[in-house]
Amino acid sequence: MENDTTIPRIPGLAQRLVAPLPPPLIGSLAARLMRQAGKSHPELFARLGEHAYKRYEIAPSDLPFVFLMTPDPAAPQLRVLRKGRASWDCRISGSLAALLGMIHGAYDGDALFFSRDITVEGDTAAGLALRNAIDNSEIDLFEEATALLGPLRSRAIPGLTPLVNALERRTGVALRRVEL
Amino acid sequence: MKPLELVCPAGTPAALRSAVQAGAHTVYCGFADETNARNFPGLNFSREDMHQAVAFAHQHGSKVLVAINTFPRAGDEDIWHRAIADAESAGVDAVILADVGLLAWAAARHPGLRLHLSVQAAAANPDVINFYASEFGVRRVVLPRVLSVAEIAAINREIDVETEVFVFGGLCVMAEGRCSMSSYATGKSPNMQGVCSPASHVQYVQDGADMISKLGAFTIDKAGKDEPAPYPTLCKGCFSARGEVSRVFEEPTSLNAAQLIPQLAKVGVTALKIEGRQRSRAYVAAVVRNFRAAVEATAAGRPIPADTLTHLSEGQSSTLGAYKKTWR
């Protein structure tokens, strides 16, 4: 049988490159990415129901900042803050590789939770709703990011796809949706 | 020999597609309301989802069963009656029911609809199973997780309906459909509202390096830094009683009966059920793929492949549960 799982780590060099970036710059890019994902997957908001209006802190343990988001369908918000500065309803933390792997369907959220690779604090129902809504949406952040390129997308894809695939192979981190 | 039917969980349409593509013969799921025993935030199917899911499954040669397996609240039976009618109009292959009144309703109003008896009915002997079969035309019974293989063999000798047994996933060793522990702690239960340990009443709190799980006003368990995260259910909690700290009800471990598949086939079981509608499509795909290989191996007379699914087990450990009752 198959499918034993170990969580890879984001390489130290990548962490060192990202760490000094100003949070507002990352926040602006991440907010555009979230709005794009919401446009592509409107069913996500229906699954969240009342939990769409909660404040979620997504805290990658290997980065010096956190993502604070409210996936309100009318006005989705996302900000990037240094750690410890946000107030939240639900906080989900874990390595960036674990969080990306969960979004992309590489890992099971419960298994990550029971193995302590991720932690969930605060409003457990909100965390569960977000996890289930994202899992059902089969989001691919690479597809969403390239959609932001607009008319340049079709020209960029042939160059970017092999690059992302090579990065995935090299690091083991799920940078795209896993085809199950 | 024909492979045993693999009945696989789907909490979302994406999980259903993953199950079908991974080799599920049959998928079970529920509507997004209190009519099913996995009524958790962000899970389950709208009426439109169900129509699309059934069409997808049938195109790929898989069946869909809909669990309407909670017990209707007096005065609000219409919610459950509509669920049965909507499941039938979506073209599902069977509904899985637990309540006697609902079985009577379905048998009378939906005579063409195949009925399965849910594990929530806790039907664990030939007399009660034969009653459900003769009175309501139940065609299959999902056996409770309290029976040994020998007991299942004895039941199968005295009944004419099909039996379905759990082979993987979270364990519920209480008398299913009768457990009131969640109700005691939170006012909500798996049997009436479809929620065992509702997430709205669960809290995980960091206490230094330790993690504490709480349900309502009760602290259930505490796990050290290198231990698996504790369960949020009272039945798997750790309590102090008469001066002794122990797991009073059961260990936080999951069922994995893959190695028993040949024996279950031999004693006349028709279908194998995988628990986990609350789990992700990654879990569904991995577990279904593994168990499909196992049932195919059994049918071909080959040994069951060794499995590596422990990391997907709740509690990160597995057991043969009641199938091997070493405590008796």
Q: In this predicted model, what pLDDT tens digit does every residue of B209-256 receive, in sequence order?
A: 899 999 999 999 999 988 999 989 999 999 988 899 898 888 888 899
What is the model's pLDDT at position B209? 87
The DSSP letter of residue B38 is -
| Closest chain A CA to residue B292 | A1
Is residue B167 in a domain?
A: yes
Cα–Cα distance, A90 to A126 (Å, whole number): 7
**Do residues B185 and B263 share a domain?**
no
Task: Kindly report the CATH number assigned to the domain that includes residue B82.
Answer: 3.20.20.70
The DSSP letter of residue B64 is E
**Do residues B87 and B232 share a domain?**
no
Is residue B97 in a domain?
A: yes
Beta-sheet pairing, B210-215 with B202-207: antiparallel
Phi, psi (deg, nearest 5) at residue A143: -60, -45
The string of pLDDT tens digits covering residues B244-303 is 989 888 888 889 999 999 999 999 999 999 999 999 999 999 999 999 999 999 999 999
Predicted complex ipTM exceeds 0.90? yes
pLDDT band at B315 (very low <50, low <70, confident <90, very high): low
Is residue B281 in a domain?
A: yes
* Domains in chain A: boundaries: 12-171
**Do residues B100 and B207 share a domain?**
no
Is residue B155 in a domain?
A: yes
Q: Which of A9-13, B151-155, B161-165, B212-216 has the lowest mean pLDDT?
A: A9-13
CA distance B40 to chain A (A): 8
**Do residues B217 and B267 share a domain?**
no
What is the model's pLDDT at position A1? 36
Mean pLDDT of chain B: 93
**Do residues B187 and B77 share a domain?**
no
CB atoms within 10 A of CB B166: 23
pLDDT band at A19 (very low <50, low <70, confident <90, very high): confident
**Do residues B269 and B151 share a domain?**
yes
Residue at which a domain ends, from B246, B263, B285: B246
Nearest to A128 among B42, B226, B258 (CB): B42
Residues in chain A whose Cβ is within 8 Å of chain B? 1-5, 46-49, 51, 102, 105-111, 113-116, 119-121, 124-133, 135-138, 178, 180
The string of pLDDT tens digits covering residues A41-81 is 999 999 999 999 999 999 999 999 999 999 999 999 999 99
Is residue B308 in a domain?
A: yes
* Contact (Cβ atoms closer than 8 angstroms) between residue B27 and residue B64: yes
Q: Determine the residue among B310, B312, B316 to mutate to test chain A binding: the one whose Cβ has the most chain A Cβ atoms within 10 Å.
A: B312
Q: Which of A87-91, B34-38, B309-313 has the lowest mean pLDDT?
A: B309-313
pLDDT band at B322 (very low <50, low <70, confident <90, very high): confident
pLDDT band at B323 (very low <50, low <70, confident <90, very high): confident
Mean pLDDT of chain A: 93
Residue at which a domain ends, from B195, B220, B246: B246
Phi, psi (deg, nearest 5) at residue A11: -55, 145
Number of domains in chain B: 2
Is residue B328 in a domain?
A: no
Q: Are A1 and B228 an interchain contact pair (Cβ–Cβ within 8 Å)? A: no
- Quote the percentage of chain B above a pLDDT of 90: 80
Cα–Cα distance, B45 to A62 (Å, whole number): 36
Q: Edge-to-edge strands of the sheet including B202-207?
A: B202-207, B210-215, B218-223
Instruction: Give the closest residue to B274 by CA, choosing from B92, B39, B10, B1.
Output: B10
Token pair, residue A119, equals 């932690």
Residue at which a domain ends, from B191, B217, B246: B246
**Do residues B153 and B271 share a domain?**
yes
Is residue B234 in a domain?
A: yes
Token pair, residue B77, equals 């039976």
Residue-range definition of the domain harbouring residue B204: 181-246
**Do residues B220 and B295 share a domain?**
no
CA distance B137 to chain A (A): 35
Cα–Cα distance, B150 to A24 (Å, whole number): 65
Token pair, residue A111, equals 């298994």
**Do residues B70 and B118 share a domain?**
yes
CB atoms within 10 A of CB A152: 10
CA distance A89 to chain B (A): 12
**Do residues B270 and B142 share a domain?**
yes
pLDDT of B21 above 60: yes
Is residue B156 in a domain?
A: yes
Cα–Cα distance, A111 to B237 (Å, whole number): 19
Q: Are B15 and A49 an interchain contact pair (Cβ–Cβ within 8 Å)? A: no
Top-tier CATH class for A12-171:
alpha beta
